[in-house]
């Protein structure tokens, strides 16, 4: 995170988590936190138990009606965001959640508010133990769901109904997705909250509305008063209270510059990534949460190049059923159609917690332990449940299946046998499934690169996961700050491995994609295309940027640059060459990126 300009007084700056891009300047509109009192009392007879069960059911219906109303109130241009509210409604209907709350009312003989509060707190505690930022970011969503249910039982009013001053910045302790959706965007310029995270549902709605937002600004409401002027810098996660004239002028200039360049980039997002000499590259999005799909499409994504499927396994104490998995996969595949969706099978382990594994060894050195395809092949029942759901969903669109962390031919062949067995079972049951579901592998470990010719003959496509490939090849933990400087995407060994994999794919006549961080880098993406990558998959926010850069480039020149860097002996030599031949050639483009980021 960059610091504010030195002329901004230190005591006026608050820090949080920036959501999206943009700068907002305006008077603050403070929404005071509603303190929900949770009474706890014992139920002394069956009549009281039945009454509390009814109150809980009424609260569920009322909360679902609120989410449905918020969904229906979305303007036509944001109708694609309806899936955010669909996801919240699904959580309201989650059978495990409902069962646990009802059980507390019936067996612990406590009132509905206390049962909801206890269950939600337990669920949040489980989420907090998971070492995955995407999973932990759902904490605020679950907390807000509990608050909404308790508020419904206490008879508190739904939603927000204040009068907003035009151009104001809303500041609140926390906001639900329904709250954000009800903000009058013609009057509200920005949003600040004390809680929340970058991938929470409320953040996704705010981003869809184009509101510069900073969340997680702890205790900021204590320092704000009605009438204060705020500057919200969503890119950097800064909030500046009562800026002086110099600061205001500085941020107004940045605001105009960012808006102009952002409009220019996004306006062309839906054009294909066709180079100046007519070479076509497909640019897709990485998906972890269903709610990210509309943003991928809106930013010009040509499909889902990597659908991570771990979320449903890590947010609950019980394994998801085939029906639950099928319903989620069906929604993704159908919503993305006719765009393709590449579903990665379970990659549990490494930087994620194996919540569904009870083996102690799985928790020791997870990066080199029982994870990804290894875990699946040792837990056939879990793996087959997922495979069944994927193949059932395949009739609703265009689906490919991708196997993570492949290190040997045996793993591929064993998985393909399991797939055939699963398909035969589904067909015997009379289930509909597509006959065209390509099965590819992720190349993430050095052994896969050594065996790449043989693996390419077994796979329908290859996908290079550069993050893990760099980590395993250079023998370092990318999350360890003591060796973070050694994590070098431009290390000659990494570039030569990538080139080797792409060549093997070309020789086998199959598609090769790249879905790691390198695919989203303006300096590395041209190298990948120059090496011959057919598809790049990345976070939705970088899709318009990379597509624009590729449209400004000649494929033959990218090939020449890629060939030259293969001769370099150090990462420094590669960087110098790339800066001279990519950044300088497209200097105006990179200056525009700096304007967006500075």
Residue 462 CA to residue 406 CA, distance in Å, equals 11
The secondary structure of 407-451, three-state, reads CCHHHHHHHHHHHHHHHHHHHHCCCCCCCCCCEEEEECCHHHHHC
DSSP symbols for 439-491:
EEEEE-SHHHHHTHHHHHHH-SEEEE-HHHHHHHHTT--TT-TTTGGG--TT-
With contact defined as beta carbons under 8 Å apart, do 442 and 481 qualify?
Answer: no
**Token duo for residue 461:** 């496509």
Identify the active-site residue in 168, 284, 376, 515: 515
Q: Is 515 a catalytic residue?
A: yes
Q: What is the dihedral of CA 64, 69, 70, 72, to 10 degrees?
A: 120
CA–CA gap between residue 457 and residue 432 (Å, rounded): 28
Active site includes 279?
no
Task: Kindly report the length of the chain.
Answer: 598
Residue tagged active-site, from 201, 238, 396, 586:
201
**Would you list the DSSP string of 105-169?**
HHHS-B-HHHHHHHHHHHHHHHHHT---HHHHTTHHHHHHHHHHHHHHHTTPPPS------TTEE
Angle at 55 between CA 52 and CA 59, to 5 degrees: 140
No. of helices (H) and no. of strands (E), the chain: 24, 17
The span from the CA of 464 to the CA of 505, in Å, is 11
Residues 6+ apart with CB under 8 A from 546: 273, 283, 519, 520, 522, 525, 536, 538
203, 274, 175, 238: which is closest to 541 by C-alpha?
203
What amino acid positions are annotated as catalytic residues?
Answer: 201, 515
């Amino acid at each position: 995170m960059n610091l504010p300009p030195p002329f901004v007084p230190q005591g006026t700056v608050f820090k949080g988590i920036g959501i999206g891009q943009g700068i907002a300047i305006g008077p603050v509109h403070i929404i005071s936190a509603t303190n929900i009192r949770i009474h706890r009392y014992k139920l002394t007879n069956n009549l009281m138990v039945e009454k509390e069960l009814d109150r809980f059911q009424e609260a569920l219906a009322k909360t679902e009606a609120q989410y449905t109303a918020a969904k229906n109130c979305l303007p036509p241009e944001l109708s694609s965001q309806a899936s955010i509210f669909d996801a919240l409604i699904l959580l309201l209907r989650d059978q495990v959640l409902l069962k646990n709350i009802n059980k507390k009312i019936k067996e612990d003989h406590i009132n509905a508010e206390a049962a909801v509060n206890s269950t939600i707190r337990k669920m949040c505690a489980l989420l907090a133990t998971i070492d995955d930022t995407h999973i932990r970011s759902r904490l605020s969503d679950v907390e807000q769901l509990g608050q909404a249910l308790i508020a419904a039982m206490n008879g508190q009013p739904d939603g927000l109904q204040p009068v907003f001053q035009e151009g104001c910045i809303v500041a609140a302790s926390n906001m639900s997705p329904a709250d954000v959706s009800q903000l009058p965007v013609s009057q509200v310029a920005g949003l600040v909250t004390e809680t929340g995270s970058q991938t929470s549902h409320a953040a996704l709605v705010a981003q869809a509305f184009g509101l510069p937002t900073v969340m997680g600004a702890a205790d900021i409401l204590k320092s704000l008063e009605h009438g204060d002027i705020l500057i919200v810098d969503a890119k950097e996660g800064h909030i500046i209270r009562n800026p002086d004239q110099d600061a205001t002028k500085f941020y107004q200039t940045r605001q105009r510059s960012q808006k102009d360049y952002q409009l220019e980039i996004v306006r062309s997002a839906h054009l294909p990534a066709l180079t100046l000499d007519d070479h076509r590259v497909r640019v897709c999005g990485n998906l972890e949460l269903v709610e990210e799909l509309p943003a991928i499409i809106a930013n010009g994504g040509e499909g889902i190049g990597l659908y991570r499927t771990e979320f449903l396994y890590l947010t609950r104490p019980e394994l998801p059923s085939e029906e639950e998995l099928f319903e989620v996969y069906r929604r993704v595949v159908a919503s993305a159609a006719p765009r393709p969706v590449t579903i990665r099978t379970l990659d549990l382990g490494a930087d994620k917690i194996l919540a569904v594994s009870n083996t102690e060894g799985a928790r020791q050195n997870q990066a080199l332990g029982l994870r990804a395809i290894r875990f699946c092949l040792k837990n056939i029942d879990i793996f087959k449940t997922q495979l069944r759901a994927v193949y059932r969903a395949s009739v609703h669109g265009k689906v490919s299946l991708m196997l993570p962390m492949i290190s040997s031919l045996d793993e591929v062949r064993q998985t393909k046998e399991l797939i055939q067995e699963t398909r035969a079972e589904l067909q015997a049951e009379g289930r509909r499934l597509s006959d065209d579901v390509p099965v590819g592998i992720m190349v993430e470990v050095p052994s896969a690169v050594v065996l790449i010719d043989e693996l390419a003959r077994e796979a329908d496509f290859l996908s290079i996961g550069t993050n893990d490939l760099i980590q395993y090849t250079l023998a370092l933990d990318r999350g360890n700050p003591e060796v973070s400087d050694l994590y070098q995407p431009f290390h000659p060994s990494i570039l030569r491995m990538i080139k080797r994999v792409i060549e093997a794919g070309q020789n086998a006549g199959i598609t090769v994609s790249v879905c790691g961080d390198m695919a989203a880098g303006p300096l590395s993406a041209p190298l990948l295309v120059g090496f011959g990558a057919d598809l790049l998959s990345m976070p939705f926010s970088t899709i318009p940027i990379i597509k624009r850069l590729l449209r400004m480039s000649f494929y033959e020149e990218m090939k020449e640059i890629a060939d030259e860097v293969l001769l370099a002996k150090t990462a420094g030599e590669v960087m110098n060459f790339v800066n001279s031949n990519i950044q300088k050639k497209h200097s105006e483009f990179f200056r525009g990126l700096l304007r967006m980021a500075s």
